[in-house]
Structure 1
């Protein structure tokens, strides 16, 4: 029997499982290079390319290595971004958090609201002790977002990823359960 996908509700948002019916909405932001470049992804060229992302979301959930929620506004229902965990290591009580949001919704506190809810869910339901965020040094808005949530910059991971034909440095941020309880 497959476990039921959890739904998270916040003041303005519903975070839910994405389906192939959401592919057109997701294409709107996954085809935008400004949205996907910090994720190390090439912009989607066709709606069909989004299906690969949806399949990945389903596979990490099924394998227990992560979970990715579609971000929707309560009054609209269409997916405008996603937030969730990847590289989850239950043995070590840690996971990496990732997120993206359609450019038209930047600067409205939506990513912050979603991230806070997902981090809280991770501590309460996955018994995580540590949540990490890997962020490009040039991605100042993302750094500000995680810092606002209580994440601390631990250091620079030199040549940590290979994307777009080059090696990228990434900042390692983390928040541990004890830090989160202080917020």
Structure 2
């Protein structure tokens, strides 16, 4: 499966390549960016290459797809956004993103997420898209709520990351809700 390029007003979402590793390391090594991702900050280019390998694996396995986020005028990867844990029999997938701090609070994550969500509902024929978000990550909660997601509940000590168990809020957006929002 190939990763299609998605085009928005300000962004190009595209496959991340080995030539992007230096730019990716800039945000993946930032402890503030990585704080709610369940990963330690990356230290080396090899860490980023492992991440790129994971991106390829989820595509090859049919369990996900991750796009690199670039600004049209710059073409440099400033974050990523995409699906994981795709369950074809249940027509659902989880969505997530991360973005270089320099680009926070500019609507870039929302713009990227809208494009990825649209791709999921229209091309993957998803019925449900979900997001798992740490309770302390208020910005991401506000973002998905702005996009129409509903908080379903708290998954207590749901995930073990970085040597500890994390609580996660489950958010979801159903295709019919997404269609209704688009019609407005």
TM-score of the aligned structures, taking structure 1 as reference length: 0.97
Deviation at 1:166, TM superposition (A): 1.4
- 2: CA distance between counterparts of 1:14 and 1:142? 21
Aligned to 1:121: 119
Unaligned stretches of 5+ in structure 1? none
Aligned to 1:63: 61
Aligned to 1:85: 83
Task: Give the paired residue count.
Answer: 181
Query: Runs in 1 of length 4+ with deviation above 4 angstroms?
Result: none
Unaligned stretches of 5+ in structure 2? none
Please list, as runs of the form range in 1=range in 2, the aligned pairs for 1:17-36 lying within 5 A after superposition: 17-36=15-34
| 1:108 aligns to 2:106 (yes or no) | yes
Deviation at 1:4, TM superposition (A): 3.1
Aligned to 1:155: 153
Deviation at 1:146, TM superposition (A): 0.2
Partner SS, residue 5 of structure 1: coil
Partner SS, residue 109 of structure 2: helix
TM-score of the aligned structures, taking structure 2 as reference length: 0.97
Partner SS, residue 116 of structure 1: helix
- 2: CA distance between counterparts of 1:166 and 1:59? 26
- 1: CA distance between counterparts of 2:137 and 2:28? 17
Partner SS, residue 112 of structure 1: helix
C-alpha distance after superposition, 1:135-177 (max 9, x if no partner): 0000000000000000000000000011222111000000000
Root-mean-square deviation (Å): 0.7
Partner SS, residue 35 of structure 2: helix
Partner SS, residue 2 of structure 2: coil
C-alpha distance after superposition, 1:73-99 (max 9, x if no partner): 000000000000000001110000010
Please list, as runs of the form range in 1=range in 2, the aligned pairs for 1:134-149 lying within 5 A after superposition: 134-149=132-147
- 2: CA distance between counterparts of 1:149 and 1:5? 23
- 2: CA distance between counterparts of 1:5 and 1:130? 21
| 1:39 aligns to 2:40 (yes or no) | no
Q: 2:3, 2:67 within 8 Å by CA — same for their partners in 1?
A: no
